[in-house]
Structure 1
């Protein structure tokens, strides 16, 4: 047998193998297309459903608040509804830190929300989270939580007020003092009340330096008499004044 004849037989075998491979690939693609087409048809004809809320991480008031926010959208088919509009509606709730809206093969349109975690009360009707965001909790009963510090001031200065609270707690920690209430007045005067009742008033001039120096002096000279103090006024150019409690 000549070399040319052998090569022709080999090429013929390769052509048959390639032909079968292409046929197999086409059949596979056809099946995948058919399955996908029927699946899409089935999903497309599926009845509209109410938006599903993942509520495992939510309190009852939070879940109810979320349901009220999405109620206007009614029942939605799998490919229906504008996910961006639903997302905007959910995140418009001030207690929602962030939310996810997705299409689920089994449950339809699904919404999951992560609530903000308060670190302090803000005024008498709101709270503030660790990012300095002021919000209204879903449950009105959560406001004025006695276990949290209460901050007062303009919401536009909420982040600065929160950071001031953290700074004061850090400076006065060696004395065993923690902030109970902190107020920033419209005239930018800080009024700090500690858990033991001691009140400190300081203006907006060199505030940080004055508080730092006060903490040092109290720790060095008055550590044993902290609970005898009623208030400290730092609104002086040089020094400060102390008002003592009346002993019974």
Structure 2
């Protein structure tokens, strides 16, 4: 064994050696990256098939492939699955999409379709549809013509609120053999309902309150008696009175009546529930 310790290299030599090793590894890593990138771009990684599954009742596989596939970027290895998901979710009638890689060289796409529960109108916008979650979405309205969907309307962004109110009112109306075909939330916060029989009901600003629902039940109970008494059908009722309601009979023109809308402009309570 040598009696002398190894001689330490000068600082500049050590720095040169360290720099050389670093450059060597950088070049090596760069070569690996270039080779890996070149291999990932080869045609053997191209996506050869897209397998669609899920709720396809209203979603045409032909339309999906024609509209979505040209927008997908990358191959089996490089495709951005989150971006691909957004492409599929932008298609008509698609609510959600889950995209995953399937070996060999395939994409699996599970689609959930929109479930329309009502037509939707809001100021300044084209007619849309409302899904079961209260979200407004755009689709071909001709595809739902035979479903008998009710018409909801309200200010921008209130579709979920109107759907929730519909779910509150529908059971109450059905208890009196009435079906809601239109529910509107006015810009001032007042609600109105149109039934299949043609009855228009002004509900005021709190139709889900106990007081308003009590007046509604009392009116619906009394309506057959009132129609029998006057020999005419009731075409509208105003429930915005704290202790009663005002009705309008079909075909009756009274002083102070707006003949364009056929509704009393300054109604007085016609019934009392106190």
Same fold (TM over 0.5): yes
Offset of 1:125 from its aligned partner? 2.0
Offset of 1:164 from its aligned partner? 1.2
Deviates more, 1:94-103 or 1:190-199: 94-103
Q: What's the counterpart of residue 148 of structure 1?
A: 149
Q: What's the counterpart of residue 237 of structure 2?
A: 232
Q: Secondary structure at the match of 1:110?
A: strand
Cα RMSD (Å):
3.0
Conserved? CA contact 1:52–1:107, under 8 Å: no
Distance in 2 between the 1:205 and 1:58 partners? Answer: 38
Q: Secondary structure at the match of 1:202?
A: strand
Change (3 A) 1:203 1:220: closer
Distance in 1 between the 2:173 and 2:71 partners? Answer: 51
Change (3 A) 1:155 1:145: farther
Offset of 1:169 from its aligned partner? 1.2
Change (3 A) 1:197 1:107: farther
Q: What's the counterpart of residue 67 of structure 2?
A: 68
Conserved? CA contact 2:119–2:151, under 8 Å: yes
Any idea what the Cα deviations from partners look like across 1:17-41, whole Å, max 9, x if unmatched? Answer: xxxxxxxxxxxxxxxxxxxxxxxx9
Q: Structure 2 regions of 5+ residues with no counterpart?
A: 1-38, 253-274
Q: What's the counterpart of residue 24 of structure 1?
A: none
Deviates more, 1:89-98 or 1:176-185: 89-98
Offset of 1:70 from its aligned partner? 4.1
Conserved? CA contact 2:58–2:113, under 8 Å: no
Q: Structure 1 regions of 5+ residues with no counterpart?
A: 1-40
Any idea what the Cα deviations from partners look like across 1:84-128, whole Å, max 9, x if unmatched? Answer: 111122234474221110111245123232111011111262111
What is the 5 A alignment of 1:1-248?
Answer: 46-49=44-47, 52-54=50-52, 57-59=56-58, 64=63, 67-73=66-72, 76-93=74-91, 95-106=93-104, 108-123=106-121, 125-137=127-139, 139-142=140-143, 147-205=148-206, 208-223=209-224, 228-246=233-251
Aligned residues: 203
Q: Secondary structure at the match of 2:85?
A: helix
Q: TM-score with structure 1 length normalisation?
A: 0.69
Offset of 1:50 from its aligned partner? 5.7
Change (3 A) 1:152 1:80: same
Q: What's the counterpart of residue 22 of structure 1?
A: none
Q: TM-score with structure 2 length normalisation?
A: 0.63
Distance in 1 between the 2:108 and 2:206 partners? Answer: 52
Q: Secondary structure at the match of 1:235?
A: strand
Conserved? CA contact 1:78–1:108, under 8 Å: yes
Q: What's the counterpart of residue 8 of structure 1?
A: none
